[in-house]
Amino acid sequence: MRVLVTGSAGFIGYHLSRRLLAAGHEVIGLDALTPYYDVRLKSQRHAMLEADGRFRAVIGRLEEQAAIDAAFADAPQVVVHLAAQAGVRYSLEAPFSYTDSNVTGTLAVLEAARRTPPRHLLIASSSSVYGMAGKPSAELDPTDRPVSLYAATKKATEAMSHSYAHLFGVPITCLRFFTVYGPWGRPDMALFRFAEAIAADQPISIYGEGRMRRDFTYVDDVVAAIDRLIGVAPVSGQPVSPADSLSPVAPWRVVNIAGGRPVELLRFVAAIEAAMGREATKQLLPMQPGDVSETAAEVGLLRALVGELPQTPIEAGVQAFCEWFRAWRG
């Protein structure tokens, strides 16, 4: 099978591409290697993928027609669109980078999929679309009150993709990721920042005064879910359960990708301290604009679609990250 992965030098994109290659698939990886965080980390990920002869890299932005044309030139049978401008807080500083990448860039992918239809198009969304949910979030819950521009662009991504599924019959699944973490993670995320600060004997800033809860999801569990979902394209008129988000007018659905077991931030920090072998100096700070106090997922639909999936305990996942981090940092 030939799979196009956009954002292949990114955190989830790298892990998914590696899994697909290990299973014998051909992977086309599209990435712009943007400097949102250290490009060396992205280049290292891509270099490891390029060591496999079945991986073909296309370097360019989603908004660049030449890059999109090159990525779709071999008519991929499956497209997993993960490339995006990530990060809730950075959207306060650089809002247009979010509309350029997440909205215009996704539109370019949808147009390419209209011209060269894959068997299944999977698109990254985010738990951020649920806003201040205040309870475990299910796919049928309303998502019309985003509290950050990042969340708003992900909501726009979902809405645009639904229109293309309806108009052109492209089967589309939107993946609502919940706080993905693990080795080769992004430096802007809490786990990486906390590990760096602890290693350097510097204080860590804990927002929400440590009372925030997140449905942390280990990256290997996430890519296992994506891998299985690739083979479960939505079919109009064939819901799998009463909780299915399948559209009544299109081969389109959204699916939560999470473990369904939220963890308090202070427990997360304690796991990092244990894995790093030293205690952190903690600065408890108020919530930041755009943040939500809790993310928690209902995962019944995911299980109905692909069955039971691995659920890596937070301590084991953090330990794996910290072992990688120490080796990578040197």
User: Checking phi first, is residue 33 left (phi over 0); if not, alpha (psi -120 to 50) or beta?
Assistant: left
125 three-class SS: strand
150 belongs to the catalytic site: yes
Active-site choice (36, 37, 150, 181):
150
110 CB-near residues (< 8 Å, 6+ apart): 121, 160, 161, 164, 170
Cα separation of 88 and 162, whole Å? 24
Tokens of 254: 């959204």
Closest by Cα among 130, 26, 7 to 78: 26
Q: Which residues contact 320 (CB under 8 A, 6 or more apart)?
A: 182, 183, 218, 312
8 A C-beta contact, residue 178 and residue 215: yes
Q: Which residues are catalytic?
A: 150
